[in-house]
Amino acid sequence: MKLWQKIFLGAFIASVAIFFFCGFYIVVTGLHFTLEGEMKRTEYYQSVYARKIKSFFREPDVQSGLSGFMDGFREELAGEGRYLQVWEGEELRYDSFEKFPPAPRYTFVEGQAAYTPTYMKDIGDSRYLYVESEFPCDNAMYKVVMIKDLSDIYKSCDMQLNIFFALCLIQAFITAMIMFLITKRITSPIERLNEAAKLMAQESIPLKLAVEGEDEISELSHNFNLMSEAINRNIDDYKQIVGNLTHEIKTPLTSIIGYAELLKNHECDRELQEQALDYILEEGKRLNSITRKMIKLSRIQPGLLNIERQDVKKMLETSLMAVRMKAGQKQIHFTSDIPEGIFCYGDREFLITMMENVLDNAIKASHEGGVIEVRAAGEGGALAYIQVTDHGIGIPADILDKIDQPFFKGDKAHSQGGDGFGMGLAICKSVMLHHHGSLKYESVVGAYTTVTMRFPAADYLRLESPEQTDQVKKDSLWVYEASNIIR
């Protein structure tokens, strides 16, 4: 069952049920109050006529004229659907009802107080209200019974019920039409979302939906558009990555195949063989480096990070040691300003990899005999940022915001060695993103380039607070969120 059908049926059944039960309750309650009022009126009339009859019987020598006395009330009562019966013991002395002369319901007991019993009785298709009272006179027990025909009340109730059931049908039809229009209007954006999602899944075509209003469904449509745009960007990025990766792999593979065919199909002297083998080895290493960096880039995921407390000074010293030999080939020197005792939280392997990539780029960009400056700063003992500055060729301003894209060719423009693959800074960006930090680049062509890695020092300090147990730290490190806040 579709969502609009569920909403329609739920709202329709609820509205019809509420209307039916409320209306039925009103009709039945009205009948109850009408009967109660009629009962009180009949009891009142019965008490009035019972007193008159009682007075009549206490007059001397008038019992023989009971019928004449009672006929004086007959037309007056019959016009209101009321009738009288007078019983002497078990003998019916007078009856204006003339339909069914039942035996008295009650037997007088000597010394018992007078009472007024009230009950209803069905005779044929009609219902009648009986109100009785008894009184003694001349050693005999008399009973005065007033009977009220309730047929008009029940006919009126039946008519009200018939009208009510007709209104129920009309209300159900109107409710069905209104709820159908409302539910279709409410769920039509969801149907459009569903169709758009199907098209995106089948044809990989990013779509944009119209956003109307400010309700939750409009917000969902807006978020769908954002998702579609993000998917479109990711598709373009992946196409670019695959294209660039294909190009980067194709060049060394072509060279390897060419030199291998040369060695196989031609007689070469010793020197040419060594040159060919050296080139094959270098290109093989290059392919291996591309593969390792692709694997490393794909492994940078929150669930695969081993987050621990790190000593920043030791970590940076390890990174500097790893690139010192390469720097020595260009007589490049490092100056460092790294305070003792600064800490951070993160994956040691990936943080060192990031630092090595940044330092490696700085070495490539530096001139022979240049200097690379490395400094770190903290806030309350927690790492705030790390800066690496080289005084080399610099980066043009128009490509500065693109250099951390995978395989971006501008990364080679920042390299004098020409052996970069456009992936080093992409790895750095991914590492910082998953450590809730950021990368910032400042550069002037021919003067310097500064890479600033900013870290969430406030979050590190919060994790160091006494209230945080080791288990809490372990459980809270780290759920990656778009807000870049540690939870």
Rounded Cα distance, 147 and 137, in Å = 23
pLDDT of residue 390: 95
pLDDT of residue 218: 77
Matching CATH number, 307-486, of 3.30.565.10, 3.10.20.80, 1.10.150.120, 3.10.20.30: 3.30.565.10
Query: Which CATH number does 205-299 carry?
Result: 1.10.287.130
Q: Cα dihedral sign for 338, 343, 346, 348?
A: positive
Q: First vs last Cα of the chain: how many Å apart? A: 39
Q: Angle of helix 348-365 relative to helix 312-328, nearest 10 degrees?
A: 40
For the chain, give every residue range classified as CATH 3.30.450. Answer: 1-99+114-203
Rounded Cα distance, 407 and 423, in Å = 5
Contacts of 193 (CB under 8 A, 6+ apart): 209, 220, 221, 224
For the chain, give every residue range classified as CATH 3.30.565.10. Answer: 307-486
pLDDT of residue 445: 92
The strand pairing partners of 386, in sequence order, are 376, 453
Q: Which long-range contacts (CB under 8 A, 24 or more apart) does 238-242 make?
A: 240/405, 240/406, 240/407, 241/406, 241/407
Rounded Cα distance, 216 and 234, in Å = 26
pLDDT of residue 424: 73
Rounded Cα distance, 247 and 461, in Å = 46
pLDDT of residue 56: 83
Rounded Cα distance, 235 and 308, in Å = 34
Rounded Cα distance, 436 and 71, in Å = 105
Closest CA to 431 of 373, 374, 356, 366: 356
* Identity of the residue numbered 185: R
DSSP 465: S
For the chain, give every residue range classified as CATH 1.10.287.130. Answer: 205-299
Cα 138–chain centre separation: 87
- The DSSP string of 252-307 is HHHHHHHHHHHHHHS---HHHHHHHHHHHHHHHHHHHHHHHHHHHHHH--GGG--E
pLDDT of residue 325: 85
Rounded Cα distance, 350 and 297, in Å = 10
Q: Rounded to the nearest 5°, which phi and psi values hold at 401?
A: -85, 5
pLDDT of residue 198: 79
Encoding tokens for residue 51?
A: 């007193």
Number of H helices, E strands in the chain: 11, 12
- Domain 1-99+114-203 is found in CATH 3.30.450: yes
Question: pTM for the complete prediction?
Answer: 0.48
Rounded Cα distance, 65 and 379, in Å = 119
Give me the tens of pLDDT residue by residue for the chain, a chain 487 residues long. Answer: 777 788 888 888 999 999 999 999 999 999 999 999 999 998 898 888 888 888 887 776 555 577 777 777 777 788 888 888 888 888 888 888 876 545 444 444 444 444 457 888 888 888 889 998 888 887 888 888 899 988 889 899 999 999 999 999 999 999 999 988 988 887 787 787 777 777 777 766 666 767 676 777 777 777 878 887 877 777 776 776 676 667 567 767 877 888 788 788 877 788 878 888 887 887 788 778 767 766 665 666 555 677 889 999 999 999 998 888 889 999 999 999 999 999 999 888 889 888 988 998 899 999 999 999 999 999 999 999 999 999 999 989 888 888 877 666 554 444 444 444 456 787 788 888 888 899 999 999 999 999 999 999 988 888 876 655 454 444 444 433 333 333 3
